[in-house]
Amino acid sequence: MHSKTFGSTLLIAGTTIGAGMLALPLAAAPLGGPITLALMVLLWLLMAYTALLQVEASLTTGHTHLHQLAEHLLGKGGRLLAAACMVMLFYSLSAAYISGGSGLLAQALTQAGLPLAQGPAAWLFTLLFGGMVCIGTRQVDYLNRLMFMTKLVIMAGVLLLLLPRMEGPHLLALPLEQGVVLAGLPVIFTSFGFHGSIPSVLLYLGRDAKQLRRVFMWGSALPLIVYVLWQAAILGLLGQQSLLTNGGTLEGLLMKVGAIIDWGAFTQAMHLFADLALATSFLGVTLGLFDFIAKVLKRRDDASGRVQTGLITFVPPLLFALYFPQGFIMALGYAAIALAVLAVLLPVALAWQARKAPEQGNYRAPGGHLGLLVAAIFGMVIIGVQLGVSAGWLPAL
């Protein structure tokens, strides 16, 4: 596989697999094994398909960024909608990652004998990883490869210990109440979010449709494989009832699993995995935000321009993470809605319009008009379910 193709595949996978993956068995416990598996496969197919729709629209029009595509094919209203969703989602995620990453960094430095408060740790975390984004995509690619392969090795070792201890009946647990299957849609859907990185990958790889299709299919399939194996390992080891009485914390889950398996370094390995997963997600999300801001504000691709773009990219989420965390926590609660618009409804609308445009690209995503209709219905259902959960009409996971 071409080096850039390999790196881009890992960038998509690294952006998708966040630290929240470790707690996914807790969130999905009320769904049971078969339903969780079915939702994971279904939502992976949806997200991989809409990524290919965005690639189709981009190759047809020659535009890379989503807001440009939206303006070209949907008018100024489409551009404003795309820009608003991207800014809300990207800044919310960036602030959340800075908050979580600074806490982990402060804890690690304190354990190493270098005590540091969370505020200075947030600045240090942002300077370290934000600096890599400002330097360039190639540098992010190489750093992401190292961190992703390390966390893959950790997860492989953990799964080798856990999977032989699974109990088959645990995996066949069924949903606990009506409506909980619908409530699982937004939770699992957001676990496959990588679409903000699509423009950066298009800029990095160019316009080779075969190469892009391979990157987005494999880059999204790797998280699916890891999610399914991790879900099976934890549910098969502990069972549905044990997960539901765990107290709902990742720390409690890791302690329970650590008490069963014969590996003293289990908890430390899982914390290292969480650290690396958070860092790779932060790199992928902020790289997409950086490229978006550079394009919208027409910043030059030189040292001065990249510093300006970097300040606009990282300072707002850093300040909000430090001084106004509740605002971003509230925004994160609606991340599934912004992501559904950004990653499902907009790509469907763009592909629909692109297929009616006089110019035609050399690539068309599979599925025809029926595929577009099914994807649009799923996107609207996810938004409706998230609104229903927020309003208390549906059970929350």
Selection from 311, 278, 202 nearest residue 15 by Cα: 278
Helix spans in the chain (H):
3-16, 24-28, 33-61, 66-74, 76-111, 118-135, 137-162, 168-171, 180-190, 198-205, 209-238, 240-244, 250-260, 266-296, 303-323, 325-333, 335-340, 346-354, 368-390
154 pLDDT higher than 70? yes
Section 167-177 average pLDDT? 83
Instruction: With respect to residue 217, please indicate whether it lies within any of the assigned structural domains.
Output: yes
pLDDT, mean of residues 133-154: 88
Q: Residue 255: what pLDDT?
A: 80
CA distance 123 to 128: 9
On whether residue 370 sits in a domain, the answer given is: no
- Is 35 inside any structural domain? yes
Q: In this predicted structure, what is the pLDDT of residue 333? A: 67
Between 207 and 148, residue with greater pLDDT? 148
- State yes or no: pLDDT of 176 exceeds 80: no
- Average pLDDT over the chain reads 87
Give the separation between CA 189 and CA 16, rounded to whole angstroms.
11
* Residue 396 within a domain: no
- How is residue 106 written in tokens? 């402060």
> Would residue 282 count as lying in a domain?
yes
Answer yes or no: is pLDDT of 177 > 80.
Answer: no
- The verdict on residue 251 lying in a domain is yes
In this prediction, residues 242-257 reach a mean pLDDT of 75
Domain-embedded: residue 115: yes
Domain count, the chain: 1
- Tell me the mean pLDDT in the region 131-139: 86
The predicted structure's pLDDT at residue 326: 66
Identify the band that residue 393 occupies on the pLDDT scale cut at 50, 70 and 90: confident
Q: Is the pLDDT of residue 328 over 70?
A: no
Confidence at residue 327, expressed as pLDDT on a 0 to 100 scale: 66
Name 127's Cβ contacts closer than 8 Å, sequence gap at least 6: none
Q: What is the mean pLDDT of residues 52-73?
A: 90
- Would 264 be classed as within a structural domain? yes
More confident: 249 or 314: 314
| Rounded distance between C-alpha atoms, residue 322 and residue 318, angstroms | 6
* Mean pLDDT confidence for 42-66: 93
pLDDT for the residue 383: 93
Neighbour tally for 316: CB within 10 Å? 14
Tokens of 268: 């430390």
* pLDDT for the residue 217: 95
Find the domain containing 36 and state its range. 3-48+95-327
Report, as an integer, the average pLDDT of 97-101: 84
| Mean of pLDDT values over 87-113 | 84
The pLDDT value given to residue 275? 86
The model's pTM is 0.88
If you average pLDDT over residues 275-280, what whole number do you get?
88
Please choose, from the candidates 27, 95, 85, 117, the residue with its C-alpha nearest in 3D space to the C-alpha of residue 278.
Answer: 95
Determine what percent of the chain is predicted with pLDDT higher than 70: 95
pLDDT of 226-248, one tens digit each?
A: 999 999 999 998 888 888 875 56
CATH number of the domain enclosing 170: 1.20.1740.10
